[in-house]
Structure 1
Amino acid sequence: MITITNDLLPINPAYNDSIIEFEIDEVGTYPSAYIVIDSTDDIFAIYGINNKYFFNFKSIVTSLINKNNFKDSIIPQLYSSSIYDDESLSLILPITIYISGAFISKTYKFKKNVEQLIGYNDKINSSNTINILLPTQNNVDYYLPYFEGYPIDFAIFGLTTGDTYYLKNTSTYNISAPATSSNDKVKRLFLSDGANNEFLTNLIGLSTTVNKCELWVNETFKSNLLIKRNESKCGVYLKWFNDAGSYSYWLFDEISESIKTDTISELSTGFNNLQHLTSTSQITGKKADNAKVLTTKFNEFERSYIQSILSSPFVEMYIYNEPFRQMNQYSFIGVAVNESNTVFNKKNNQYKMNVTITLPQINTQTL
């Protein structure tokens, strides 16, 4: 008989170690164990140590859960729906373990996120398995900045088939139209697609202060979503994949823009008499990069939200620098965050961050 002596949690972060330990009640023999991933039929052989076996799912899970390379494939059309399923943000992994004719089947669930040692025990000891995929300090209050006229969404993890959920605006007492989950996939709820606002049907009237909205699932309170509506203005709008396992958005002010060029190589052309030359050398071409220096201010409550951009594996920039443009599949382009510094001003209790981003390399002509 196979016994799992150290099992995984009901929900596990994909980008942390996920190690199981198991053994078989055979005395004096240490046969090979085989783990079969039922969804792909991949087989992994394991050799026991003192009749104990160990297996880390991290490398398998990160390859299976990230087939889109963190790229967002959902293009919202709010006249159709404001709620979209996103199967790329979680993974259900059924496996079977075989040893000497014995076998045991298990199913594990993973979120497309990473956790830090500090605060993680507080999360796993919480009985709330339904949460919003945004950075949070207390696992109850989640912050969502809404910059008017730019696309924005948030994700809910842990809903199962048949769950009914809605948002309640505690300021206006408006309640969004209840929705019923038809599957176990992560739900993405869009407040705007750039040109149109949804506000989940009945949550209209969001003020420019922090609006406290409550997430209710099956008539049970789950968490607070604190939405801050910012007035529309021009700027550089960035989107990134955050540590919690979904997408974050923020509007920056642009300080400067620069284009850096370098010569690829130089060829000598001075192989003739001077009277026949106009130049003694010619370059083979240039390579050029475009960089922007951005800045923003934020408070202590917003800090965990905005600073998640610094560790993000995927950052994009909205191609429009003005609001109220309909989002499409080409509206975001990938950029690299190269430099950043954050300064805290004690006088007004605000942080100021400067970020340098590099845009895709400029195409140039070459010999």
Structure 2
Amino acid sequence: MAIQINNEIDGIYPAYNDSYIQFESTLTGSTKAVIQLLPQTTFPKPFELYSNINGVFIFNLKEAVKSRFNQYGFEDIYTTYPTGWSRNIQNLTLTQHLEITDYNTETSGATLTKSYEFFKSVKQIGEPVFYNNTQILNNSINGVDYNLTYFEGYPFSFELQKVIENDSIKIRSRNTSLFSNNLISDSTNAMRIYIDKVSSNWTTSNFLPLQDSLNKLEIFNNGVLTTNFNLKKVPAKCGVYLKWFNNDGGYSYYLFDEYYNSSSTFKSVGEVSRNSFNNVIDGLKSPTMNIGKEGSENLAVRTVADENEVQHLKSLFSSPSVQMWSSNNPFINGKWQTVTISGNHSYSTKKALNEVKLTINLPEQITIKL
């Protein structure tokens, strides 16, 4: 007696896509299967399944895995800088364990334990799942080669999908042939690598000096080349800086132009009665007074982006979490504030540069109210 898996997911799988497993039971007269998801404190009740007419059981892990990821939200909880240039971070990947038991009318059969790995991302139709564990959690055509733009003087980092505890990560610049110091993983998790902490960066700290142009970089894990990325460094300038959770399970950054249009809208909350009764000779007053107003402010921003940056910005428009840096000037320690955005992402493949426009909706203004 055994449970036979016919179809399942593999690799580190995007959590926000369907993740079906299909299996059959060799138990004579099998009528149902029970799946217990772990940890049991999160999933106290098992799932009962019944096969189709061909005896095949189907179960989708998507909603269960989403529920585990969603409890942490999408905003970045690692808002302080480590001493060094990297740290391991949780909540971007997880392993889902489950136990499958088949039953017939008389007894239970075998129990099969399975484990699947997921990362906090989504893939569109036609997009492949990459099997490079040290891939950068950003858009790529193959999971090995990446193109990022870095704006000097603003917080900037990137994440590697999964690094094993005690792994040694080293970065090499093909421009200068220089290697960075080792970055040692202190746990098996995603690893964030910082490039700019506002008050210092790779260049000023001499960790790995970057040129004010295109830097061709390579990532080595335990001495093995795993990932390439072209880092376009933009020298310090003013602008509106955004950070968002992207479709690939990491955080992205982009600096929009310094000049923007701002508009504010205010409307009355309502009125209340004065509860005063005056004759004409006593001086009439309005019978009501205003409670106060509520207001909102929007920023209309723009940028001109190259082909790689346009692709990078695509996930901004669908992101569940967007934040704006409080300073429009580089090298100023600010804070992230949560905003929403609206606009359309359109571009022409014939153009080397495309204009990207969007509206940033700031949090509701705090006004004086009764």
Q: TM-score of the superposition, structure 2-length normalised?
A: 0.89
Instruction: Give yes or no for the alignment of 1:92 onto 2:95.
Output: yes
The alpha-carbon deviation at position 116 of structure 1 amounts to 0.9
Choose 223-232 or 127-136, whichever is displaced more.
127-136
Aligned residues: 358
The alpha-carbon deviation at position 158 of structure 1 amounts to 2.7
Superposition pairs of residues 103-118 of structure 1, within 5 angstroms: 103-118=111-126
Instruction: Give yes or no for the alignment of 1:318 onto 2:325.
Output: yes
The alpha-carbon deviation at position 41 of structure 1 amounts to 5.8
The equivalent of 2:212 in structure 1 is 208
The equivalent of 1:258 in structure 2 is 263
Query: Residues of 2 paired with 1:357 and 1:225: CA distance?
Result: 29
Superposition pairs of residues 237-276 of structure 1, within 5 angstroms: 237-253=241-257, 254-267=259-272, 272-275=278-281, 276=283
The equivalent of 1:145 in structure 2 is 149
SS of the residue 1:63 aligns to: helix
Choose 129-138 or 312-321, whichever is displaced more.
129-138
Query: Residues of 2 paired with 1:199 and 1:65: CA distance?
Result: 35
Query: Residues of 2 paired with 1:105 and 1:282: CA distance?
Result: 68
* Aligned amino acid, residue 312 of structure 1: S
The equivalent of 1:333 in structure 2 is 337
The equivalent of 2:284 in structure 1 is 277
* Aligned amino acid, residue 358 of structure 1: N
Is the CA contact (8 Å cut-off) linking 1:177 and 1:200 kept in structure 2? no
Is the CA contact (8 Å cut-off) linking 2:132 and 2:144 kept in structure 1? no
Superposition pairs of residues 110-189 of structure 1, within 5 angstroms: 110-120=118-128, 123-124=129-130, 128-189=132-193
Q: Alpha-carbon deviations, 1:227-252, whole Å to 9, x = none?
A: 11111112111100001101001111
Is the CA contact (8 Å cut-off) linking 2:181 and 2:207 kept in structure 1? no
Q: Alpha-carbon deviations, 1:56-94, whole Å to 9, x = none?
A: 11111112123321111113435x111111111111122
The alpha-carbon deviation at position 38 of structure 1 amounts to 3.4
Choose 21-30 or 233-242, whichever is displaced more.
21-30
- The 1:274/1:231 distance shift into structure 2, 3 A limit, reads farther
Is the CA contact (8 Å cut-off) linking 1:82 and 1:200 kept in structure 2? no
Query: Residues of 2 paired with 1:262 and 1:215: CA distance?
Result: 53
The equivalent of 2:358 in structure 1 is 355
The equivalent of 2:105 in structure 1 is none
Choose 60-69 or 244-253, whichever is displaced more.
60-69
The equivalent of 2:39 in structure 1 is 38
Q: TM-score of the superposition, structure 1-length normalised?
A: 0.90
SS of the residue 1:65 aligns to: helix
The equivalent of 2:300 in structure 1 is 293
Is the CA contact (8 Å cut-off) linking 1:95 and 1:107 kept in structure 2? yes
Instruction: Give yes or no for the alignment of 1:82 onto 2:85.
Output: yes
Query: Residues of 1 paired with 2:12 and 2:122: CA distance?
Result: 12
Query: Residues of 2 paired with 1:201 and 1:19: CA distance?
Result: 48
2:110 aligned residue (102, 111, 118): 102
1:306 aligned residue (313, 327, 345): 313
Is the CA contact (8 Å cut-off) linking 2:202 and 2:210 kept in structure 1? no
What is the aligned-residue identity percentage? Answer: 31
Choose 17-26 or 239-248, whichever is displaced more.
17-26
The alpha-carbon deviation at position 36 of structure 1 amounts to 3.0
Q: Which runs of 5+ in 2 are unaligned?
A: 103-107
Q: Alpha-carbon deviations, 1:271-304, whole Å to 9, x = none?
A: 6444522335422221110111111111112211
- The 1:45/1:119 distance shift into structure 2, 3 A limit, reads closer
Is the CA contact (8 Å cut-off) linking 1:146 and 1:229 kept in structure 2? yes
The equivalent of 2:30 in structure 1 is 29
The equivalent of 1:60 in structure 2 is 64
Query: Residues of 2 paired with 1:41 and 1:148: CA distance?
Result: 43
- The 1:296/1:274 distance shift into structure 2, 3 A limit, reads farther
Q: Which runs of 5+ in 1 are unaligned?
A: none
Q: Alpha-carbon deviations, 1:208-265, whole Å to 9, x = none?
A: 2211101122322212111111111121111000011010011112421111111122
Query: Residues of 2 paired with 1:66 and 1:56: CA distance?
Result: 17
Choose 107-116 or 29-38, whichever is displaced more.
29-38
CA RMSD of aligned residues (A): 2.3
Is the CA contact (8 Å cut-off) linking 2:317 and 2:342 kept in structure 1? no
The alpha-carbon deviation at position 16 of structure 1 amounts to 0.5
